[in-house]
Structure 1
Amino acid sequence: MTATDVTRTHAPSRAMHGHAMAVGHAEGDFARAALAAFAGAEDSEALMLVADLSRLDFDPEEVLVAGSGRRLDVVDVAGAYDAFQNEDADKLLHDWDAVLDEILAAGHTGLRVFADNTAMLAGSSQTTERWLRWEQQTDAWQARRPISGTCFIDAQLVSDELVSCAARVHPAVSGSNTPRWSLHHGYVAGRIRLVLSGDVEVWDAPALDAVLTREADIRSCAPDDGQPCEIDVSNVRYLHHTPLRSLAALDPRGVRLVGAPTIVRRLMAALPTVSGIELT
Protein backbone atom coordinates (compact mmCIF):
# COMPACT_ATOMS: atom_id res chain seq x y z
CA MET A 1 0.00 0.00 0.00
CA THR A 2 1.35 3.43 -0.94
CA ALA A 3 0.59 6.97 0.13
CA THR A 4 -1.26 7.52 -3.15
CA ASP A 5 -3.52 4.53 -2.53
CA VAL A 6 -4.48 5.76 0.93
CA THR A 7 -4.80 9.45 0.11
CA ARG A 8 -7.13 8.74 -2.79
CA THR A 9 -9.59 6.81 -0.66
CA HIS A 10 -9.42 8.12 2.91
CA ALA A 11 -12.41 9.76 4.59
CA PRO A 12 -12.52 13.58 4.75
CA SER A 13 -10.26 14.91 7.48
CA ARG A 14 -11.87 16.41 10.55
CA ALA A 15 -10.84 17.53 14.00
CA MET A 16 -11.34 14.61 16.38
CA HIS A 17 -12.73 14.66 19.88
CA GLY A 18 -10.30 14.08 22.70
CA HIS A 19 -11.30 10.41 22.63
CA ALA A 20 -12.77 8.69 19.59
CA MET A 21 -13.19 5.28 17.99
CA ALA A 22 -12.84 4.24 14.34
CA VAL A 23 -14.17 0.93 13.03
CA GLY A 24 -12.66 -0.81 10.01
CA HIS A 25 -14.43 -3.30 7.74
CA ALA A 26 -11.95 -3.98 4.93
CA GLU A 27 -8.28 -4.26 4.11
CA GLY A 28 -6.64 -0.84 4.20
CA ASP A 29 -9.15 0.72 6.60
CA PHE A 30 -6.54 0.99 9.37
CA ALA A 31 -4.27 3.16 7.21
CA ARG A 32 -7.19 5.22 5.89
CA ALA A 33 -8.59 5.86 9.37
CA ALA A 34 -5.15 6.76 10.75
CA LEU A 35 -4.59 9.25 7.96
CA ALA A 36 -8.01 10.83 8.57
CA ALA A 37 -7.30 11.13 12.31
CA PHE A 38 -3.87 12.68 11.82
CA ALA A 39 -5.04 15.02 9.06
CA GLY A 40 -6.93 17.11 11.62
CA ALA A 41 -3.86 17.62 13.84
CA GLU A 42 -2.14 20.97 14.23
CA ASP A 43 1.43 21.20 12.93
CA SER A 44 2.61 21.67 16.50
CA GLU A 45 1.14 18.34 17.67
CA ALA A 46 3.26 15.20 17.89
CA LEU A 47 1.82 12.02 16.37
CA MET A 48 1.92 8.45 17.63
CA LEU A 49 0.83 5.26 15.86
CA VAL A 50 0.26 2.19 18.03
CA ALA A 51 -0.02 -0.85 15.77
CA ASP A 52 0.53 -4.58 15.46
CA LEU A 53 3.83 -4.22 13.64
CA SER A 54 3.76 -7.86 12.52
CA ARG A 55 0.62 -7.08 10.47
CA LEU A 56 1.40 -3.54 9.34
CA ASP A 57 1.24 -3.46 5.52
CA PHE A 58 2.38 0.11 4.85
CA ASP A 59 5.24 2.47 5.68
CA PRO A 60 3.89 4.85 8.37
CA GLU A 61 6.40 7.59 7.56
CA GLU A 62 5.54 7.53 3.85
CA VAL A 63 1.78 7.22 4.23
CA LEU A 64 1.04 9.30 7.33
CA VAL A 65 3.53 12.18 7.33
CA ALA A 66 4.83 12.01 3.74
CA GLY A 67 8.23 13.58 4.38
CA SER A 68 6.77 16.58 6.23
CA GLY A 69 9.33 16.27 9.02
CA ARG A 70 6.62 15.98 11.66
CA ARG A 71 7.31 13.86 14.71
CA LEU A 72 5.73 10.42 14.36
CA ASP A 73 6.44 7.72 16.93
CA VAL A 74 5.53 4.17 15.90
CA VAL A 75 4.96 1.78 18.81
CA ASP A 76 4.15 -1.92 18.80
CA VAL A 77 0.78 -2.56 20.43
CA ALA A 78 2.16 -5.42 22.53
CA GLY A 79 4.77 -3.25 24.24
CA ALA A 80 2.41 -0.31 24.64
CA TYR A 81 0.00 -2.32 26.78
CA ASP A 82 2.35 -4.49 28.85
CA ALA A 83 1.26 -2.86 32.10
CA PHE A 84 -2.38 -3.11 31.08
CA GLN A 85 -2.08 -6.84 30.44
CA ASN A 86 -0.63 -7.14 33.96
CA GLU A 87 -3.77 -5.43 35.29
CA ASP A 88 -1.86 -2.32 36.36
CA ALA A 89 -3.90 0.46 34.78
CA ASP A 90 -2.54 3.07 37.20
CA LYS A 91 1.04 2.35 36.10
CA LEU A 92 0.02 2.51 32.44
CA LEU A 93 -1.66 5.88 32.99
CA HIS A 94 1.47 7.09 34.80
CA ASP A 95 3.58 5.94 31.83
CA TRP A 96 1.36 7.82 29.38
CA ASP A 97 1.55 10.93 31.58
CA ALA A 98 5.35 10.76 31.43
CA VAL A 99 5.32 10.35 27.63
CA LEU A 100 3.02 13.35 27.23
CA ASP A 101 5.11 15.49 29.60
CA GLU A 102 8.26 14.69 27.56
CA ILE A 103 6.49 15.65 24.34
CA LEU A 104 5.27 18.94 25.80
CA ALA A 105 8.75 19.68 27.16
CA ALA A 106 10.12 19.19 23.61
CA GLY A 107 7.96 22.11 22.45
CA HIS A 108 4.91 20.32 21.07
CA THR A 109 1.45 21.57 22.03
CA GLY A 110 -0.08 18.13 22.37
CA LEU A 111 -0.13 14.52 21.24
CA ARG A 112 -2.44 12.76 18.80
CA VAL A 113 -2.54 8.96 19.12
CA PHE A 114 -4.04 6.40 16.75
CA ALA A 115 -4.05 2.91 18.27
CA ASP A 116 -5.13 -0.49 17.00
CA ASN A 117 -7.04 -1.96 19.96
CA THR A 118 -8.61 -4.88 18.07
CA ALA A 119 -6.69 -7.45 20.14
CA MET A 120 -8.26 -6.08 23.32
CA LEU A 121 -11.72 -7.03 22.09
CA ALA A 122 -10.75 -10.15 20.16
CA GLY A 123 -9.13 -11.84 23.16
CA SER A 124 -10.56 -13.28 26.36
CA SER A 125 -13.54 -11.82 28.19
CA GLN A 126 -11.19 -10.78 31.00
CA THR A 127 -9.01 -8.84 28.57
CA THR A 128 -12.07 -7.16 27.07
CA GLU A 129 -13.38 -6.15 30.50
CA ARG A 130 -9.99 -4.74 31.55
CA TRP A 131 -9.77 -2.80 28.29
CA LEU A 132 -13.26 -1.29 28.66
CA ARG A 133 -12.39 -0.28 32.22
CA TRP A 134 -9.14 1.25 30.94
CA GLU A 135 -10.99 3.16 28.22
CA GLN A 136 -13.22 4.78 30.83
CA GLN A 137 -10.22 5.67 32.98
CA THR A 138 -8.23 7.15 30.12
CA ASP A 139 -11.35 8.94 28.85
CA ALA A 140 -11.38 11.01 32.05
CA TRP A 141 -7.62 11.63 31.75
CA GLN A 142 -7.84 12.74 28.11
CA ALA A 143 -10.64 15.16 28.99
CA ARG A 144 -8.17 17.31 30.94
CA ARG A 145 -4.85 16.81 29.11
CA PRO A 146 -3.68 17.99 25.63
CA ILE A 147 -4.05 14.60 23.96
CA SER A 148 -6.41 13.22 21.32
CA GLY A 149 -6.72 9.46 21.06
CA THR A 150 -8.49 7.34 18.46
CA CYS A 151 -9.01 3.62 19.08
CA PHE A 152 -9.23 1.48 15.95
CA ILE A 153 -11.27 -1.73 15.94
CA ASP A 154 -11.23 -4.19 13.02
CA ALA A 155 -14.85 -5.35 12.80
CA GLN A 156 -13.75 -8.34 10.73
CA LEU A 157 -12.23 -9.81 13.91
CA VAL A 158 -14.68 -8.60 16.55
CA SER A 159 -18.40 -9.24 17.09
CA ASP A 160 -20.98 -6.50 16.51
CA GLU A 161 -21.95 -6.71 20.18
CA LEU A 162 -18.42 -5.94 21.36
CA VAL A 163 -18.07 -3.11 18.84
CA SER A 164 -21.25 -1.59 20.33
CA CYS A 165 -19.91 -2.01 23.88
CA ALA A 166 -16.73 -0.16 22.93
CA ALA A 167 -18.62 2.58 21.07
CA ARG A 168 -20.67 3.44 24.16
CA VAL A 169 -17.58 4.65 26.04
CA HIS A 170 -16.23 6.86 23.23
CA PRO A 171 -17.50 10.41 22.58
CA ALA A 172 -17.21 10.00 18.80
CA VAL A 173 -17.42 6.97 16.52
CA SER A 174 -16.74 6.66 12.79
CA GLY A 175 -17.17 3.68 10.49
CA SER A 176 -20.00 2.19 12.55
CA ASN A 177 -23.58 2.93 13.49
CA THR A 178 -23.70 5.44 16.32
CA PRO A 179 -24.93 3.68 19.47
CA ARG A 180 -28.34 4.72 20.75
CA TRP A 181 -26.69 5.93 23.95
CA SER A 182 -23.20 6.59 25.26
CA LEU A 183 -21.51 7.56 28.53
CA HIS A 184 -18.18 9.36 28.46
CA HIS A 185 -16.35 12.25 30.14
CA GLY A 186 -16.17 15.99 29.61
CA TYR A 187 -14.08 18.64 31.36
CA VAL A 188 -16.43 21.45 32.38
CA ALA A 189 -15.78 24.39 34.72
CA GLY A 190 -12.59 22.88 36.05
CA ARG A 191 -13.91 19.43 36.90
CA ILE A 192 -14.57 16.11 35.21
CA ARG A 193 -18.22 15.52 34.38
CA LEU A 194 -19.82 12.40 32.95
CA VAL A 195 -21.89 12.95 29.80
CA LEU A 196 -24.87 10.69 29.08
CA SER A 197 -26.43 11.02 25.63
CA GLY A 198 -29.10 9.40 23.48
CA ASP A 199 -32.04 7.08 24.14
CA VAL A 200 -31.71 4.80 27.19
CA GLU A 201 -34.43 2.15 27.16
CA VAL A 202 -35.41 -0.36 29.85
CA TRP A 203 -33.47 -3.14 28.10
CA ASP A 204 -30.32 -1.00 28.19
CA ALA A 205 -30.19 -1.19 31.99
CA PRO A 206 -27.75 -4.19 32.17
CA ALA A 207 -25.32 -2.59 29.71
CA LEU A 208 -25.54 0.76 31.50
CA ASP A 209 -25.02 -1.00 34.83
CA ALA A 210 -21.82 -2.55 33.45
CA VAL A 211 -20.51 0.86 32.37
CA LEU A 212 -21.49 2.47 35.67
CA THR A 213 -19.95 -0.33 37.74
CA ARG A 214 -16.59 0.27 36.08
CA GLU A 215 -17.09 4.01 36.53
CA ALA A 216 -17.80 3.63 40.28
CA ASP A 217 -14.65 1.51 40.67
CA ILE A 218 -12.58 4.14 38.87
CA ARG A 219 -14.04 7.02 40.91
CA SER A 220 -13.37 5.21 44.19
CA CYS A 221 -9.64 5.21 43.40
CA ALA A 222 -9.45 8.80 42.20
CA PRO A 223 -9.03 11.96 44.33
CA ASP A 224 -11.98 14.35 44.23
CA ASP A 225 -13.38 17.41 45.96
CA GLY A 226 -16.07 15.55 47.88
CA GLN A 227 -18.80 16.85 45.62
CA PRO A 228 -21.55 14.61 44.14
CA CYS A 229 -20.88 13.02 40.79
CA GLU A 230 -22.15 15.30 38.02
CA ILE A 231 -23.71 13.82 34.89
CA ASP A 232 -24.55 16.05 31.93
CA VAL A 233 -27.87 14.77 30.56
CA SER A 234 -28.66 17.70 28.28
CA ASN A 235 -28.45 15.45 25.20
CA VAL A 236 -30.61 12.64 26.60
CA ARG A 237 -33.64 12.13 24.36
CA TYR A 238 -35.27 9.36 26.40
CA LEU A 239 -34.51 7.78 29.78
CA HIS A 240 -36.47 4.88 31.26
CA HIS A 241 -36.91 4.82 35.03
CA THR A 242 -34.94 1.56 35.44
CA PRO A 243 -31.66 3.02 34.09
CA LEU A 244 -32.43 6.19 36.09
CA ARG A 245 -32.25 4.14 39.30
CA SER A 246 -28.87 2.85 38.14
CA LEU A 247 -27.63 6.44 37.88
CA ALA A 248 -28.88 7.15 41.40
CA ALA A 249 -26.76 4.30 42.77
CA LEU A 250 -23.52 5.48 41.13
CA ASP A 251 -22.26 7.65 44.00
CA PRO A 252 -23.20 7.33 47.69
CA ARG A 253 -22.78 11.09 48.08
CA GLY A 254 -25.49 11.65 45.50
CA VAL A 255 -25.69 12.33 41.79
CA ARG A 256 -26.33 15.72 40.19
CA LEU A 257 -28.00 15.66 36.74
CA VAL A 258 -26.94 18.78 34.87
CA GLY A 259 -28.98 20.31 32.04
CA ALA A 260 -31.84 17.88 32.57
CA PRO A 261 -34.31 18.10 29.64
CA THR A 262 -38.07 18.09 30.14
CA ILE A 263 -38.40 14.32 29.73
CA VAL A 264 -35.95 13.68 32.60
CA ARG A 265 -37.65 16.27 34.84
CA ARG A 266 -41.05 14.72 34.21
CA LEU A 267 -39.65 11.28 35.01
CA MET A 268 -38.20 12.52 38.30
CA ALA A 269 -41.50 14.16 39.21
CA ALA A 270 -43.31 10.87 38.58
CA LEU A 271 -40.82 8.88 40.69
CA PRO A 272 -40.61 10.60 44.08
CA THR A 273 -39.15 7.44 45.64
CA VAL A 274 -35.87 7.77 43.66
CA SER A 275 -33.48 9.37 46.14
CA GLY A 276 -29.95 10.64 45.76
CA ILE A 277 -30.54 12.59 42.54
CA GLU A 278 -30.40 16.36 42.27
CA LEU A 279 -31.48 18.24 39.14
CA THR A 280 -29.81 21.46 38.00
Structure 2
Amino acid sequence: MAVMPGATAPPDRVPAAGRHAGVVFSDDREWAGHLCAFVRGGLERDEQVQYFADTTDPGRVLRTLTDAGIDAAAAVTRGQLSVSTAAQTYLAGAGFDPDEMIGLWYDALEAALARGHRGLRAIGEMAWGARDTAGADRLLEYELRIHHEVFARLPLTAWCFYDRRLLPDAQVRVLAGAHLSHRGETVADPALRVAPLAGRPGLLMSGSAGYDTRDTVAAAAAAVRGAPAQRMELDLSALRHLDAASLAALADAAAGRPGGPSLRIRQAPPSLRRLLELFPELGAAVEVVDR
Protein backbone atom coordinates (compact mmCIF):
# COMPACT_ATOMS: atom_id res chain seq x y z
CA MET A 1 0.00 0.00 0.00
CA ALA A 2 1.26 3.47 -0.84
CA VAL A 3 2.50 5.45 2.14
CA MET A 4 1.09 8.95 2.43
CA PRO A 5 3.41 11.78 3.44
CA GLY A 6 2.99 12.96 6.98
CA ALA A 7 2.66 16.60 5.96
CA THR A 8 0.47 17.87 3.17
CA ALA A 9 -0.04 21.21 1.48
CA PRO A 10 -2.53 23.69 2.97
CA PRO A 11 -6.08 22.79 1.92
CA ASP A 12 -7.71 24.67 -0.94
CA ARG A 13 -10.40 27.18 0.02
CA VAL A 14 -12.96 25.20 -1.99
CA PRO A 15 -14.42 22.46 0.27
CA ALA A 16 -13.21 18.95 -0.48
CA ALA A 17 -16.74 17.87 -1.38
CA GLY A 18 -16.70 20.31 -4.32
CA ARG A 19 -13.28 19.41 -5.68
CA HIS A 20 -13.98 15.83 -6.71
CA ALA A 21 -16.82 15.77 -9.24
CA GLY A 22 -18.45 13.15 -11.40
CA VAL A 23 -19.09 14.64 -14.84
CA VAL A 24 -21.65 12.84 -17.02
CA PHE A 25 -22.17 13.66 -20.70
CA SER A 26 -23.34 11.99 -23.88
CA ASP A 27 -21.98 14.00 -26.83
CA ASP A 28 -18.81 15.69 -28.02
CA ARG A 29 -20.14 19.22 -27.49
CA GLU A 30 -20.74 18.57 -23.81
CA TRP A 31 -17.31 16.93 -23.48
CA ALA A 32 -15.62 19.97 -25.01
CA GLY A 33 -17.55 22.39 -22.81
CA HIS A 34 -16.52 20.63 -19.60
CA LEU A 35 -12.93 20.22 -20.80
CA CYS A 36 -12.41 23.87 -21.72
CA ALA A 37 -14.05 25.28 -18.60
CA PHE A 38 -11.93 23.05 -16.37
CA VAL A 39 -8.61 23.72 -18.10
CA ARG A 40 -9.18 27.46 -18.47
CA GLY A 41 -9.97 27.75 -14.76
CA GLY A 42 -6.85 25.84 -13.79
CA LEU A 43 -4.52 27.87 -16.01
CA GLU A 44 -5.98 31.14 -14.70
CA ARG A 45 -5.40 29.99 -11.10
CA ASP A 46 -1.80 28.99 -11.91
CA GLU A 47 -2.52 25.36 -11.15
CA GLN A 48 -0.91 22.51 -13.02
CA VAL A 49 -3.50 20.78 -15.22
CA GLN A 50 -3.35 17.13 -16.30
CA TYR A 51 -5.69 15.24 -18.62
CA PHE A 52 -5.74 11.43 -18.57
CA ALA A 53 -7.26 10.26 -21.84
CA ASP A 54 -8.68 6.82 -22.48
CA THR A 55 -10.59 6.68 -25.76
CA THR A 56 -9.84 10.26 -26.81
CA ASP A 57 -6.76 10.97 -28.88
CA PRO A 58 -4.47 13.31 -26.86
CA GLY A 59 -3.98 15.49 -29.93
CA ARG A 60 -7.73 16.04 -30.11
CA VAL A 61 -7.74 17.30 -26.52
CA LEU A 62 -5.13 19.93 -27.38
CA ARG A 63 -6.88 20.93 -30.62
CA THR A 64 -10.19 21.38 -28.80
CA LEU A 65 -8.56 23.67 -26.25
CA THR A 66 -6.84 25.68 -28.97
CA ASP A 67 -10.08 26.07 -30.94
CA ALA A 68 -11.68 27.49 -27.77
CA GLY A 69 -9.03 30.22 -27.56
CA ILE A 70 -6.84 28.53 -24.93
CA ASP A 71 -3.11 28.64 -25.71
CA ALA A 72 -2.62 24.94 -25.02
CA ALA A 73 0.73 24.76 -26.82
CA ALA A 74 2.25 27.45 -24.60
CA ALA A 75 0.85 25.79 -21.47
CA VAL A 76 2.40 22.48 -22.51
CA THR A 77 5.74 24.14 -23.26
CA ARG A 78 5.96 25.75 -19.83
CA GLY A 79 4.93 22.49 -18.12
CA GLN A 80 1.58 23.70 -16.82
CA LEU A 81 -0.53 21.41 -19.01
CA SER A 82 -0.04 17.76 -19.91
CA VAL A 83 -2.15 15.19 -21.73
CA SER A 84 -1.35 11.54 -21.11
CA THR A 85 -3.33 8.31 -21.27
CA ALA A 86 -4.92 5.93 -18.80
CA ALA A 87 -2.31 3.37 -19.85
CA GLN A 88 0.38 5.74 -18.56
CA THR A 89 -1.41 6.58 -15.29
CA TYR A 90 -4.34 4.56 -13.90
CA LEU A 91 -3.29 1.39 -15.70
CA ALA A 92 0.49 1.78 -15.77
CA GLY A 93 1.13 -1.33 -13.67
CA ALA A 94 -0.19 -4.86 -13.93
CA GLY A 95 -3.69 -3.48 -13.38
CA PHE A 96 -5.60 -0.76 -11.60
CA ASP A 97 -4.65 -0.54 -7.92
CA PRO A 98 -6.42 2.07 -5.74
CA ASP A 99 -3.58 2.15 -3.21
CA GLU A 100 -0.97 2.89 -5.88
CA MET A 101 -3.16 5.52 -7.53
CA ILE A 102 -3.76 7.30 -4.22
CA GLY A 103 -0.01 7.42 -3.69
CA LEU A 104 0.49 8.81 -7.20
CA TRP A 105 -1.81 11.74 -6.40
CA TYR A 106 0.48 12.71 -3.54
CA ASP A 107 3.53 12.44 -5.77
CA ALA A 108 1.90 14.48 -8.54
CA LEU A 109 0.81 17.23 -6.15
CA GLU A 110 4.27 17.43 -4.62
CA ALA A 111 5.79 17.78 -8.09
CA ALA A 112 3.30 20.50 -9.08
CA LEU A 113 4.01 22.53 -5.94
CA ALA A 114 7.75 22.10 -6.45
CA ARG A 115 7.35 23.75 -9.87
CA GLY A 116 5.72 26.74 -8.21
CA HIS A 117 2.09 26.02 -9.04
CA ARG A 118 -0.69 26.76 -6.55
CA GLY A 119 -2.19 23.30 -6.84
CA LEU A 120 -3.10 20.50 -9.18
CA ARG A 121 -6.20 19.70 -11.17
CA ALA A 122 -6.86 16.72 -13.38
CA ILE A 123 -9.48 15.17 -15.64
CA GLY A 124 -9.67 11.41 -15.95
CA GLU A 125 -11.66 9.57 -18.62
CA MET A 126 -13.18 6.58 -16.84
CA ALA A 127 -14.48 4.46 -19.74
CA TRP A 128 -11.76 1.88 -19.09
CA GLY A 129 -13.76 0.88 -16.01
CA ALA A 130 -16.32 -0.82 -18.27
CA ARG A 131 -13.76 -3.00 -20.05
CA ASP A 132 -12.22 -6.30 -19.03
CA THR A 133 -9.22 -4.55 -17.51
CA ALA A 134 -7.29 -5.96 -14.57
CA GLY A 135 -8.42 -4.13 -11.44
CA ALA A 136 -11.39 -2.40 -13.09
CA ASP A 137 -13.63 -4.04 -10.51
CA ARG A 138 -11.90 -1.87 -7.87
CA LEU A 139 -12.88 1.44 -9.48
CA LEU A 140 -15.85 2.02 -7.17
CA GLU A 141 -13.72 1.22 -4.12
CA TYR A 142 -11.26 3.86 -5.33
CA GLU A 143 -13.94 6.50 -5.87
CA LEU A 144 -15.26 5.88 -2.36
CA ARG A 145 -11.86 6.16 -0.71
CA ILE A 146 -10.27 9.16 -2.40
CA HIS A 147 -12.59 11.80 -0.91
CA HIS A 148 -11.06 11.34 2.56
CA GLU A 149 -7.66 9.98 1.56
CA VAL A 150 -6.88 12.59 -1.09
CA PHE A 151 -9.26 15.54 -1.50
CA ALA A 152 -9.73 16.24 2.21
CA ARG A 153 -5.94 16.52 2.50
CA LEU A 154 -4.61 18.10 -0.70
CA PRO A 155 -5.15 21.23 -2.86
CA LEU A 156 -6.32 19.00 -5.68
CA THR A 157 -9.33 19.25 -7.99
CA ALA A 158 -10.35 16.36 -10.22
CA TRP A 159 -13.25 15.67 -12.55
CA CYS A 160 -14.05 12.10 -13.48
CA PHE A 161 -15.47 11.99 -17.03
CA TYR A 162 -18.24 9.44 -17.59
CA ASP A 163 -19.27 9.20 -21.25
CA ARG A 164 -22.70 7.58 -21.43
CA ARG A 165 -21.91 6.32 -24.93
CA LEU A 166 -19.12 4.14 -23.53
CA LEU A 167 -20.41 3.02 -20.13
CA PRO A 168 -23.58 1.10 -19.23
CA ASP A 169 -26.21 3.32 -17.60
CA ALA A 170 -26.27 1.18 -14.45
CA GLN A 171 -22.53 1.61 -13.99
CA VAL A 172 -22.71 5.36 -14.62
CA ARG A 173 -25.37 5.69 -11.92
CA VAL A 174 -23.30 3.80 -9.36
CA LEU A 175 -20.01 5.57 -10.11
CA ALA A 176 -21.52 9.05 -10.40
CA GLY A 177 -23.34 8.43 -7.13
CA ALA A 178 -20.04 7.85 -5.38
CA HIS A 179 -19.15 11.54 -5.85
CA LEU A 180 -20.36 14.32 -3.57
CA SER A 181 -20.29 16.83 -6.43
CA HIS A 182 -21.92 16.34 -9.84
CA ARG A 183 -21.77 18.15 -13.17
CA GLY A 184 -23.29 17.61 -16.55
CA GLU A 185 -26.28 15.40 -17.16
CA THR A 186 -28.47 14.27 -14.30
CA VAL A 187 -28.62 10.53 -13.70
CA ALA A 188 -31.10 8.54 -11.66
CA ASP A 189 -30.04 7.09 -8.33
CA PRO A 190 -28.88 3.47 -8.51
CA ALA A 191 -30.68 0.70 -6.65
CA LEU A 192 -27.93 1.00 -4.03
CA ARG A 193 -25.99 4.21 -3.69
CA VAL A 194 -22.77 4.33 -1.70
CA ALA A 195 -21.04 7.67 -1.19
CA PRO A 196 -18.44 9.13 1.17
CA LEU A 197 -19.63 11.00 4.24
CA ALA A 198 -18.84 14.68 3.73
CA GLY A 199 -17.59 15.59 7.19
CA ARG A 200 -15.90 12.49 8.57
CA PRO A 201 -14.32 9.25 7.33
CA GLY A 202 -17.04 6.83 6.39
CA LEU A 203 -19.76 5.90 3.93
CA LEU A 204 -23.46 6.56 3.44
CA MET A 205 -25.50 3.70 2.00
CA SER A 206 -28.99 4.35 0.63
CA GLY A 207 -31.47 2.22 -1.26
CA SER A 208 -31.52 -1.56 -1.15
CA ALA A 209 -28.62 -4.02 -0.87
CA GLY A 210 -29.23 -7.51 -2.21
CA TYR A 211 -28.19 -10.03 -4.82
CA ASP A 212 -28.37 -7.55 -7.71
CA THR A 213 -26.11 -5.05 -5.91
CA ARG A 214 -23.51 -7.50 -4.60
CA ASP A 215 -20.70 -5.81 -6.59
CA THR A 216 -21.53 -2.45 -5.02
CA VAL A 217 -21.60 -3.98 -1.55
CA ALA A 218 -18.25 -5.67 -2.21
CA ALA A 219 -16.73 -2.32 -3.18
CA ALA A 220 -18.14 -0.67 -0.06
CA ALA A 221 -16.72 -3.47 2.09
CA ALA A 222 -13.33 -3.11 0.41
CA ALA A 223 -13.38 0.64 1.06
CA VAL A 224 -14.18 0.03 4.74
CA ARG A 225 -11.40 -2.50 5.07
CA GLY A 226 -8.78 -0.53 3.11
CA ALA A 227 -9.28 2.99 4.45
CA PRO A 228 -6.37 4.09 6.69
CA ALA A 229 -8.52 6.24 9.00
CA GLN A 230 -8.41 5.02 12.59
CA ARG A 231 -12.20 5.09 12.75
CA MET A 232 -14.82 4.76 10.02
CA GLU A 233 -18.55 5.38 10.13
CA LEU A 234 -21.19 3.55 8.13
CA ASP A 235 -24.45 5.50 7.96
CA LEU A 236 -27.32 3.13 7.11
CA SER A 237 -30.15 5.51 8.00
CA ALA A 238 -31.33 5.69 4.36
CA LEU A 239 -30.98 1.97 3.68
CA ARG A 240 -34.30 0.19 3.14
CA HIS A 241 -33.03 -3.39 2.92
CA LEU A 242 -29.84 -5.34 3.54
CA ASP A 243 -29.75 -9.06 2.78
CA ALA A 244 -27.75 -11.66 4.71
CA ALA A 245 -24.87 -11.82 2.23
CA SER A 246 -24.45 -8.04 2.32
CA LEU A 247 -24.58 -8.06 6.10
CA ALA A 248 -21.85 -10.67 6.23
CA ALA A 249 -19.63 -8.78 3.77
CA LEU A 250 -19.80 -5.54 5.73
CA ALA A 251 -19.36 -7.20 9.11
CA ASP A 252 -16.38 -9.16 7.82
CA ALA A 253 -14.82 -5.96 6.49
CA ALA A 254 -15.24 -4.34 9.90
CA ALA A 255 -13.64 -7.33 11.59
CA GLY A 256 -10.73 -7.11 9.17
CA ARG A 257 -9.80 -3.61 10.27
CA PRO A 258 -6.95 -3.36 12.79
CA GLY A 259 -7.43 -2.21 16.37
CA GLY A 260 -10.51 -2.10 18.56
CA PRO A 261 -14.01 -1.02 17.59
CA SER A 262 -12.95 0.88 14.43
CA LEU A 263 -16.30 0.97 12.60
CA ARG A 264 -19.25 2.95 13.89
CA ILE A 265 -22.57 1.88 12.36
CA ARG A 266 -25.32 4.49 12.51
CA GLN A 267 -28.97 3.37 12.37
CA ALA A 268 -28.14 -0.31 11.93
CA PRO A 269 -31.14 -2.37 10.78
CA PRO A 270 -32.40 -5.11 13.13
CA SER A 271 -31.03 -7.83 10.88
CA LEU A 272 -27.51 -6.46 11.26
CA ARG A 273 -27.88 -6.25 15.02
CA ARG A 274 -28.95 -9.90 15.13
CA LEU A 275 -25.95 -10.95 13.03
CA LEU A 276 -23.58 -9.16 15.37
CA GLU A 277 -25.23 -10.85 18.36
CA LEU A 278 -24.86 -14.27 16.74
CA PHE A 279 -21.21 -13.71 15.85
CA PRO A 280 -19.52 -11.78 18.68
CA GLU A 281 -16.17 -11.94 16.90
CA LEU A 282 -17.64 -9.69 14.19
CA GLY A 283 -19.23 -7.35 16.71
CA ALA A 284 -15.89 -6.75 18.45
CA ALA A 285 -14.87 -4.32 15.69
CA VAL A 286 -18.22 -2.52 15.52
CA GLU A 287 -19.94 0.17 17.57
CA VAL A 288 -23.66 0.55 16.84
CA VAL A 289 -25.26 3.94 17.53
CA ASP A 290 -28.86 5.07 17.01
CA ARG A 291 -28.38 8.82 16.63
Amino acid at match of 2:233: E
Query: d(CA) in 2 for partners of 1:35 and 1:16?
Result: 22
In structure 2, the residue matched to 1:33 is 34
- Report the identity percentage: 21
Which moves more between the two structures, 243-252 or 160-169?
243-252
**Paired residues, number:** 248
Query: d(CA) in 1 for partners of 2:109 and 2:53?
Result: 19
In structure 2, the residue matched to 1:5 is none
Q: TM-score, normalised by structure 1?
A: 0.70
Gaps of 5+ in 1: 1-14
In structure 2, the residue matched to 1:128 is 136
Query: d(CA) in 1 for partners of 2:22 and 2:141?
Result: 15
Kindly indicate whether the alpha-carbon contact (under 8 Å) linking 2:19 and 2:151 is maintained by their aligned counterparts in 1. Answer: yes
Amino acid at match of 2:18: H
In structure 2, the residue matched to 1:94 is 103
Kindly indicate whether the alpha-carbon contact (under 8 Å) linking 1:110 and 1:147 is maintained by their aligned counterparts in 2. Answer: yes
Query: d(CA) in 2 for partners of 1:206 and 1:44?
Result: 43
In structure 1, the residue matched to 2:201 is 193
Q: Superposition pairs for residues 100-115 of structure 1, below 5 Å?
A: 100-115=109-124
In structure 1, the residue matched to 2:194 is 183
Kindly indicate whether the alpha-carbon contact (under 8 Å) linking 1:21 and 1:173 is maintained by their aligned counterparts in 2. Answer: yes
The Cα RMSD (Å) is 3.6
Correspondence for 1:173 among 168, 182, 188 = 182
Cα gap change, 1:16/1:31 in structure 2, threshold over 3 Å: closer, same or farther? farther
Provide the secondary structure at the position in 1 that maps to 2:92: helix
Correspondence for 1:119 among 122, 128, 131 = 128
The CA deviation at 1:176 is 4.0
Gaps of 5+ in 2: 1-15, 256-260, 277-285
Query: d(CA) in 1 for partners of 2:68 and 2:114?
Result: 24
Provide the secondary structure at the position in 2 that maps to 1:179: coil
Kindly indicate whether the alpha-carbon contact (under 8 Å) linking 1:186 and 1:195 is maintained by their aligned counterparts in 2. Answer: yes
Q: TM-score, normalised by structure 2?
A: 0.67
Q: CA offsets per residue over residues 63-84 of structure 1, 9 Å max, x none?
A: 5772497733222332123435
Q: CA offsets per residue over residues 24-73 of structure 1, 9 Å max, x none?
A: 21233322222344566572433222224536535254257724977332
Q: CA offsets per residue over residues 70-100 of structure 1, 9 Å max, x none?
A: 7332223321234354455444433331110
